[in-house]
Structure 1
């Protein structure tokens, strides 16, 4: 498992409205608990809200997203612009970053072409 902070707090935008956290859990856990992923995300969000309030007096919502099945542009945004909070598995993190970057680079030309077609008069 690993987690990133991303969004306005990491970008240094003030005032920030919330804390954005993206987590990746072992794929085996996601497969075995597909019906519990939403409950897990909500529970983690609640735990982080309470911890921030108790530890540093910060009273803001915490938005938790799972990276496992997130759209590729979001995954790349988190990897490129986010700040790694922790990892329990360096190899898993490295594999995730490499896979995300390779897939993103493969898709980028197609997205550019698609965007050109959309905005062409």
Structure 2
């Protein structure tokens, strides 16, 4: 878990190093029966990074408080394994914009249920497409931003 009173160091791993790290994280997550699939997203995928951003989809719903506890538990455990800061978010209760960003820019690295992952991606893309009209209208009319 990240300490907010000290600056975060930057890291850089080659493709082999990133794959090795994701294999360690995947092994830990795959041992949990409640995790269906996981993505890595953010700067970890592009080169220089400060932390590893991981998004997981659970096989069941949970309350906001329980989800936060699980996120913190996974951050602690995965950070210990990775020897790096790991940021974990649960996709099930995440906003549409976050879910869309994860599937657009992220990479799945664990999938125990490919059908569920495919359904999640399809539903997110449909919802994003449906909402895009309203987002553009809002930006144009309220914020006076021509899109």
Q: The TM-score by the shorter chain falls in which range?
A: 0.7 to 0.9
CA distance in 1, matches of 2:37, 2:104: 15
1:65-103 per-residue CA deviation (whole Å, 9 max, x = no partner) reads 010010001101101110101011011111101110000
Moved over 2 A (4+): 33-36
Match of 2:97 among 51, 73, 97: 73
Q: For 1:119, what is the secondary structure of its paired residue?
A: coil
The offset of 1:63, in angstroms, is 0.8
* Offset at residue 117 of structure 1 (A): 2.2
Q: If the length of structure 2 is used for normalisation, what is the TM-score? A: 0.69
1:5 aligns with 2:14: no
Please state whether the residue corresponding to 2:89 is helix, strand or coil. strand
Distance 1:8 1:118, change over 3 A: farther
Q: How big is each residue's C-alpha offset from its partner over 1:9-39, in whole Å with a ceiling of 9 and x where there is no partner?
A: 11x152x211110000013xx24x6642221
Where does structure 1 lack aligned partners over 5 or more consecutive residues?
54-59
Which residue, 95, 119, 135 being the options, matches 1:95? 119
- Matched with 1:36 is 66
Structure 2 unaligned residues grouped into runs of 5+: 1-35
Aligned pairs, how many? 110
Partner of 1:70, secondary structure, is coil
Q: State the superposition RMSD in angstroms.
A: 1.7
**Normalising by the residue count of structure 1, what TM-score does the alignment of the two structures yield?**
0.82
